[in-house]
Structure formats: C-alpha cells, structure tokens
Amino acid sequence: MLPVEERKAIISLMQREVVPAIGCTEPIAVALCATRAREILGCLPEKISLSLSANILKNAMGVGIPGTGMIGLPIAVALGVTIGRSEYQLEVLRDCCPEAVERGKQYIEEKRIDIALEEEDPDKLYIRVTCEAAGHTATAVIKGHHTHFALLKHDDEVLLDDDNTSCEEQSTDDIPLTMRKVWEFATTTGIDEIKFILEAKRLNEHAADEGLRENYGHQLGKTMCSPLGKGIMGDSIFSKIMSRTSCACDARMAGAMIPVMSNSGSGNQGICATMPVVVFAEENHNTEEELIRALILSNLAAIYVKQSLGPLSALCGCVVASTGSSCGITYLMGGNYEQVTYAVKNMIANLTGMICDGAKPSCALKVTSGVGTAVMSAMLAIQHKYVTSVEGIIDNDVDQSIHNLTSIGSRGMDVTDRFVLDIMTSK
C-alpha cells in the first residue's frame, strides 16, 4: 500500500481533475474567463476582446453550447458576461435560460465581441479576455489549465499575477505517477477513501440516458440501440459499451444542458474513462467495490497519460481516456498488473496518431473507435497477448511506451495541429 501522504496527494489530484462540467470545456473555459473579466469590471461590457490559442479556437468552433441550440464562441462569451458566475467553474453557464439566450443573441448582433488568434504566448491552452465600459477595462487570462487564472487586472491595477506555471506543471502538480503507482493506488486504497468516483458513474449514466432519449448530434448511440443497429451489431456487451458511451457523447457535444464528469479538463475523456467500465461491470456482474476500483484505475490512468501530454494537443483525447477504460475493463475481467500493462501497450499500438480536429458532434465516432479498441485490447491482455517492443513505438517498459505516445502527441504532431487548424479556418 502507498504511504498515507502519497495516497492523500493522489486523492486530491483526482478530485481536482475529475470534476463536473456543463458543455465542451474549451468554449466553457472561454465563457468562464469572460465572466471573471466582467465581474472585475463591475458592469456589462460595451466591448469584449478575446485572444485565444489555436487549440482553444479549434475546440470551440463547431461544438454546441448548452441550453442555446447554437454553436461556437460568440454565444458562450455573450452568456458568460450576461449570466455567468465564476464560482461555478466549468458549470459557469448553469443559469442559462431562454431569456438569457435572447439577450446573448442581441449582444452578438450589436457586434460587441472581437475574437483573435493569440500569436505570442506559446501555451496551447491560453485565453485572454478584455472587457471595456465607461472608460475602464478589466482583463482576465486563463492559461495552462481550464480553470487556472494566470492574470487578473482592473485598468492598470494587477489583482492577480500567477503566470509562472506551465500547462504541464499545472497538470502534474508535483505528483509524479507511474503505471505501477496507479495500479497500487486503485487496488489497495481503502474503499471509503475512493467512493467519490461513483459520482462520475451517476452523472455520465444520466448523460447517456439523455442521449438515448433525445435526438442529439449524429445520434450515433441511439442508432446503435435501434433495430438497425442491433440487427448489425447484436446486443452484446461490446455493442452496449459502445452505444451507451456514444449516447453520452452525443448529448454533450450537441449542447445538452446537463453536467458530465470530466477528466483532465475534458468531458469526453471523462465519459470515455467511465462509461465503458460502468457498462462492463454491470454486464459482467462485478461487485460495487470492483467497479469503484476499476473506475479509479481508469480515471487515474488517464490523468497519468495527460501529465506528460498536456491538457490540449493534436492527439485525440479518446486515445488517452480509452486507454484508461481498457485498464479498468482488464481489471474487471480479473486481470493483474502485468495484464493491465499489456492492455496499455495494445491501446498505444493501435490508436496513436488519431488526430483531434476540434470538438464537435462527430467526436462520438472517435469515442466509439476508442472504446471499441479498449475492449479488444483488454480481451487480448487477459489472455497474455500484447504488442511487443519489436513492433513500432512500443517499449518493454509500459511507462516508456506511454511517454512515447505523449511525445508524439505533444511534440511530434505540432505540424499536424497547425495543418488541421488551417484547414478548419479556411473552409
């Protein structure tokens, strides 16, 4: 068992990284930043100027904003300055209502919002919002993490300057993880200390129910549950995992006004790390304790991978979160640590290179690809079958294999990231 202080530190880390969020976290983070700037200004801004990193722009262009029936940043910003409350964090637009949406539309029509690409700051997660009214200005900067305010200013008075932490340092918070440590924490920590993860099950199951009930996005999950889907894919554990996970993603990406439990700043990652494990445990008749430990294993493994990948990259987040869920499913199958490492290697060998081309309804397709691979990787791992070090980027050491993946995603795909954004902005 890990030392008490280390266990407490990991619990604290998880409680920071596994949090409720309403809507896609990039436009919601922009709304949060706009909200804070308006709060500092003390009145409704006459003008709002935004400077955003390319990755924020990419992930905010095509996704639904909860409760609005609209997509993109302008309505998120308008709602942020009219009804947002910064203490809600990633649920900043919780108080959205039809009247607020109408006011937001009017604000947009008055052309008060100017959005530009940040050219100077190299951080992939960077949001700068400046609000102006009656000769006064207020500025808020979020950097490195979706809720981390790096700068707050009112006119020339600096209220907060916390710009010393990079995105990687923000995500790790000085808690170095390894795959062995993730395993030890998930399997040996007292069950009462980690029961909090069941809230992820509750929220993300509710999102899946909502996605099945209504017609969101491309309705991938609902299609898989239809007679057509069952006729082709059957009604197996495999198909149920994919359909339930997709239902939750359909609802979230289309702007359903419901919270999901996110992981490392991404709701889709939270869904991906949770729903496959929940569905498998139910179908496999695992105990509640086994489910709790599997969910901890899945979510903490995803956090571990994100430590070196960073909060935003050219690599699709479903690769990260599905790797976590494959670990959880392997554990629920009765797998040991060695077999869990096999599942990780199988995932990295298959999904490395899947690009992120922004947050949008079609993310449900990528999520389904990820969780489908997660199940297959676990099936192979439990039989001691895995991709070896003579194949591609896989190393004998599972931690080195993970770092190979994140190096490709964080540095090797930088040019790809720029190409993707160029294509998206030139259509």
- Residues in contact with 157: Cβ distance below 8 Å, sequence separation at least 6, in sequence order: none
The conformation of residue 336, written as its DSSP 8-state character, comes to -
Pairing label, strands 113-117, 47-52 = parallel
Residue type, 7: R
pTM of this prediction? 0.92
Q: If you write DSSP's letter for every residue of 277-324 in order, what string do you get?
A: HHHHHHHHT--HHHHHHHHHHHHHHHHHHHHHH-SS-SB-HHHHHHHH
pLDDT values of the chain reduced to their tens digit, one per residue, 427 residues: 899 999 999 999 999 999 999 989 999 999 999 999 999 999 999 999 999 999 999 998 888 899 999 998 999 999 999 999 999 999 999 999 999 999 999 999 999 999 999 988 788 999 999 999 999 999 999 999 999 999 999 999 999 998 754 444 444 456 899 999 999 999 999 999 999 999 999 999 999 999 999 999 999 999 999 999 999 999 999 999 999 999 999 999 998 999 999 999 999 999 999 999 999 999 999 999 999 999 999 999 999 999 989 888 889 998 899 999 999 999 999 999 999 999 999 999 999 989 999 889 999 999 999 999 999 999 999 999 999 999 999 999 999 999 999 999 988 998 998 899 889 888 8
Instruction: Dig out the tokens for 37 from the structure.
Output: 């700037």
CB 273 within 8 A of CB 374: no
CB 94 within 8 A of CB 88: yes
CA-CA distance, 258 to 20, in Å (whole number)? 10
Instruction: Dig out the tokens for 379 from the structure.
Output: 């099936």
Instruction: Dig out the tokens for 369 from the structure.
Output: 């690809």
CB 220 within 8 A of CB 328: no
Q: CA angle, 117 as apex, 113 and 123 as ends, to 5°?
A: 125
CA-CA distance, 370 to 316, in Å (whole number)? 10
